[in-house]
Amino acid sequence: MRLHIINGPNLNLLGLREPDIYGKQSYGDLVEYLHASAETLGIAIDCFQSNHEGELVTLIQQTYGQADGIVINPAAYTHTSVAILDALKAVALPAVEVHLSDVSQREDFRRVSYPALACIAVIAGKGFVGYKDAMILLRSALAK
């Protein structure tokens, strides 16, 4: 099983950006955690990050025929991007949306998620562990 893990804008600034919300670990720490978690789960992963909506759409489109599922943290594009929603619908792979913080406890505008409409689940507020939970969920869904 191969999963593509796609991260949106500003995740490259983890550890610097609002550490009281997102933690003090870096994006490099996240990628290390993802690879270690995937290895223990017996899952192959490819990790991507972009600050550009169009590039995220292209990355989602490229999962078709290359991956079995998607873990996506659209970050700020969660609340604005119909294009990311449409790309997820187009590739029609099982996807799980992940957020490091609990977006339901933050500003009202953060409670709207367009990509979630094409996802089998949303995991929020669990930090890095949310990504591992998403991999486990997708492994289970794909085994059925």
pLDDT digits (tens, 9 = 90+) for 34-85: 999 999 999 999 999 999 999 999 999 999 999 999 999 999 999 899 999 9
CB 2 within 8 A of CB 67: yes
Name the domain count of the chain. 1
| Section 94-121 average pLDDT | 86
Catalytic positions: 22, 99
Strands 44-49 vs 69-73: parallel, antiparallel or unpaired: unpaired
CATH code of residue 105: 3.40.50.9100
Full residue range of the structural domain in which residue 130 is found = 2-143
Taking phi first (over 0 means left), then psi (-120 to 50 degrees means alpha), and beta for anything else, what does residue 132 get?
A: alpha
Q: What pLDDT sits at residue 15?
A: 87
Q: What pLDDT sits at residue 106?
A: 65
pTM: predicted TM-score of the whole model, two decimal places: 0.93
Specify which residues 4 forms β-bridges with: 46, 70
